[in-house]
Amino acid sequence: PHTDFYAIAKEKYFSETKKYLSARSEIKGTQYFNLYPTFARRPWFDGFDLDRAEIATISRIRSNHYNLNYSLHRCGLVPHPRCHCGLSRQDINHILWSCPLYECHRAPMLQSLRETLKSP
């Protein structure tokens, strides 16, 4: 039937896209591709109740491109990767889990995550 053409075209498009992204990952986005090498037919956020800003924030964190000194230093936008607290490089793990400058925000964040990500 004529509907087979759609399925064949869709599969060919997906296959060609995989080839293209695999080739591009050798030049650009290598670190991200090494972390998330699988190709999904749906985006990672499919099935989650997230707004655009939340999707963008999580995507930036996943791809290691966020507005903190460690990421900005790699792009040559700031002179050093250190955190303002002086203890470590300013990356997302440091800010979320160990930076003393954000200690007061940590407990409310964890409580919000517990409520949002309820498990059975």
Do 104 and 72 share a structural domain?
yes
Most confident of 2-16, 33-47, 50-64: 50-64
Q: What is the pLDDT, as a whole number, of residue 119?
A: 63
> Residue 108: phi, psi to the nearest 5?
-60, -35
> In a 10 Å sphere around its CB, with 0-12 CB exposed, 13-18 middle and 19+ buried, how is residue 115 labelled?
exposed
| pLDDT tens track for 77-90 | 999 999 999 999 99
* 59 domain residue, yes or no: no
Mean pLDDT of 95-120: 89
Same domain, 36 and 82: no
Instruction: Read off the pTM.
Output: 0.63
Whether 56 is covered by a domain: the verdict is no
Mean pLDDT score across all residues of the chain: 87
Residue 43 and residue 9 in one domain: yes
- Residue 37 has a pLDDT of 64
Looking at the fold, whether 1 and 45 belong to one and the same domain comes out as yes
**Distance (Å, whole) CA 28 – CA 58:** 19
Structural domain total, the chain: 2
Give residue 28's domain range: 1-51
pLDDT at residue 42, rounded to an integer: 83
